Each structure stands twice: as C-alpha cells, then as structure tokens.
C-alpha cells in the first residue's frame, strides 16, 4: 500500500514538472512583433516656395536719377534716411529687395550721405518702432530721421506691384526733416514715355 502511494505521488510530481516545462516553453515562444517607426522618407514638411524676383534696380533707377537731378544743390546737413516702403498696392511686397536696391543706387551718388541700415535699426529700437513695421508714414519717418540727425528722407510709396505686362506704379519723394516739406516728388508718369503707364494699367483691368 505504501509503495502504491509512493508511485502515485511520484507520478503527480512528474506531471507537475512536465506542465511547468510546457508553460515555460509557451511563454518563451511568445515573440512580440517589432514596433516599426513611421517611414517619413518621402514626406515634405514644408513645400518649396516659388519666390518671384523683381528687378527693382531697373525699376527704381529712373526715380532716383530724377530726384538727384532735381536736387543738385543741397545746403547744410546732407545725411539722408532711406525710409521703409509704404506699400499701398494690396499685394505682398519683398521689402528687403526694394530696400537693397534703393541703398545700392543711392550709395553710387555723392550728393547725399546715406544713413547705414544698422544705424536705422538702432534708431528704430530706441523709438520703439518695429524693425519690420508695416504702418509706414511720412511723419513717422521724419521723426526717425530727426532722431538720427538726418537732414532728408527719401520716401517711396508703391501703388501697384509690377506684373508680367504691367509696370509698377509708385512715387518717390525727397522730404525735408526740418520742415516736413516735400522738396521733390517723382511719379511713374514722370519717368515713363507718354501713355505707357496708362496703357499698361488699361491692359491689366
């Protein structure tokens, strides 16, 4: 009887060990599928932008020449501030392109001493004017010029952006910082052949 009990106990232990081994094998065989990182090789975060480059040097050169020809005699303080562009076209304007062209053109003449852009930025900061201020006005630019001790302001207003078959419509003014007077004013009609601007604008309507 004792021998029979021993056999039963041994059999139970054997089955128990076998069950543990099978359970261990099943657990080891459970392999989790690898987590794959999303493939973003073909995703473009920012689509390429097509930036149109306008030849502002050619557009502005006749205006600058006309202003200089009409201002052959400058007395006293000849420091000139090139103002921010007053954009009334309703279109996006690459301000930096226009500003670069104006500075290049004015730096070729010797009638005025042109205020450098770093000095303009510092003067704006001192007056609390944003570097990329969009609310451009004559009075604001004259106030800026006075803070820099500049005698004159070159003030440009864009009324219509240049298109493929349409010329730009703009005006350029030479302002006296002391009196606020418009000393010289040149418009698109003053620098283009008779009827060119009118015909272009009619074509764009």
Question: What residues have CB less than 8 Å from 70, skipping those under 6 apart?
Answer: 174, 184, 186
Instruction: Choose which CATH entry (3.40.50.10610, 3.40.50.300, 3.40.50.1110, 2.30.31.20) describes domain 56-204.
Output: 3.40.50.10610
Rounded distance between C-alpha atoms, residue 130 and residue 111, angstroms: 29
Each residue's pLDDT tens digit, 94-104: 888 999 999 99
What φ, ψ does residue 113 adopt, rounded to 5°? -95, 120
Q: Is the pLDDT of residue 9 over 90?
A: no
Which is more confidently placed, 73 or 68? 68
DSSP 10-71: HHHHHHHHHHHHHHHHHHHH--PPPPPPP--TT--SS----PPPP-HHHHHHHHHHHHHHHT
Q: Is the pLDDT of residue 160 over 90?
A: yes
Nearest to 144 by CA among 161, 131, 156: 131
Mean pLDDT to the nearest integer, 83-95: 91
Mean pLDDT to the nearest integer, 111-125: 95
Q: What percent of the chain has pLDDT over 90?
A: 53
Q: Is the pLDDT of residue 84 over 70?
A: yes
Query: For position 82, what pLDDT does the model report?
Result: 97
Mean pLDDT to the nearest integer, 104-120: 95
Query: For position 12, what pLDDT does the model report?
Result: 62
Q: Where are the domains of the chain?
A: 56-204
Rounded distance between C-alpha atoms, residue 63 and residue 82, angstroms: 14
């Amino acid at each position: 009887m004792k021998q029979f009990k021993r056999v039963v106990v041994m059999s139970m232990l054997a089955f128990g060990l076998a069950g543990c081994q099978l359970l261990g094998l099943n657990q080891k065989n459970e392999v989790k599928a690898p987590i794959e990182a999303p493939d973003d090789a073909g995703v473009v975060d920012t689509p390429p932008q097509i930036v149109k480059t306008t030849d502002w040097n050619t557009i502005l050169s006749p205006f600058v020449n006309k202003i200089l020809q009409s201002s052959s005699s400058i007395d006293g303080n000849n420091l000139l501030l090139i103002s921010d562009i007053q954009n009334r076209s309703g279109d996006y304007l690459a301000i930096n392109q226009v500003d670069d062209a104006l500075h290049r053109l004015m730096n070729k003449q010797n009638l005025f001493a042109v205020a450098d852009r770093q000095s303009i930025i510092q003067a704006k900061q001192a007056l609390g004017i944003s570097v990329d201020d969009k609310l451009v006005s004559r009075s604001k630019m004259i106030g800026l010029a006075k803070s820099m001790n500049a005698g004159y302001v070159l003030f440009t207003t864009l009324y219509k952006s240049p298109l493929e078959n349409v010329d730009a419509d703009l005006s350029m003014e030479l302002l006296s910082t002391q009196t606020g007077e418009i000393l010289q004013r040149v418009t698109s009609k003053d620098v283009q052949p008779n009827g060119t601007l009118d015909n272009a604008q009619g074509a764009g309507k």
